[in-house]
Amino acid sequence: MAIFPPSEKVWWNEPVERTEALWIGICLVWAMILFFMMPYWHIVGQQNLSNEAYKIPLADQGAESDPSQRFVGEAYEAKVEAYVAANTIREEGDTGIPVVKATDSGDVYMLGRLWDWYPILELEKGKSYRFHLSSLDWLHGWSLQPTNINIQVHPGYEMIFNVTPTETGEFGVVCNEFCGIGHHNMLGKIYVK
């Protein structure tokens, strides 16, 4: 910490001290390693999957009449509800959460909201799906367990990624972005048959 002003007022013309230059060098190399790890894990590690994000137009968010009352999830919620209404095969739990069987079109829909992932999906092993995700309120994190797949889910954006299940079983979805008092209960489920 400097208590007094530097004796040389034009301090930025002073030569860089050796240890300082060394630390700058170490930081630069480390930053470069981290930078190239991102594409590396995408290609070699098959992580950091490619996803697409589409902004849901403001008109579709119900913002036209009164922007202050805009409900960002409206259009997406309608799409998910239509999908649920057409493809529900059974209901689960005390609250009757719909279990939706993926259609042959390959498009599957899920939404995040305070505090659940809706609906429960049933997929088939070996089939390819275009998975659509959005949030009705705040930022949520879609984390598929026990695989290492994580997607940030933003309100007002529709996230889409391709998925081909390679194993049958029951998979859990947890929220990995802290979203309030019910965050730890924000769970979802996907069956693969």
- Binding-site ranges for Cu ion (CB under 5 A): 140, 175, 179, 186
Helices (H), ranges, the chain: 18-43, 74-87
Instruction: Return the ∠ at Cα 181 (arms to 90 and 48), rounded to 5°.
Output: 70
Which residue's CB is nearer to Cu ion, number 140 or number 154?
140
For the CB of residue 42, give the shortest distance to Cu ion in the complex, in Å.
25
Min separation Cβ 78 and Cu ion, Å? 21
Minimum distance, C-beta of residue 116 to Cu ion, in the bound complex (Å): 9
Starting at the edge strand found earlier in the chain, the sheet holding 187-192 runs 88-92, 97-101, 120-123, 187-192, 169-175, 140-145, 149-153
Shortest spacing between CB 179 and Cu ion, in angstroms: 3
Our CB check for Cu ion shows the closer of 107 and 115 to be 115
The b/e string for 157-178 (b: 16+ C-beta within 10 A; e otherwise) is bbbbbebebeeeeebebbbbbe
Between 120 and 179, whose beta carbon lies closer to Cu ion?
Answer: 179
Q: Which residue's CB is nearer to Cu ion, number 87 or number 158?
A: 158
Nearest residue to 87 (alpha-carbon basis) of 75, 105, 69, 99: 99
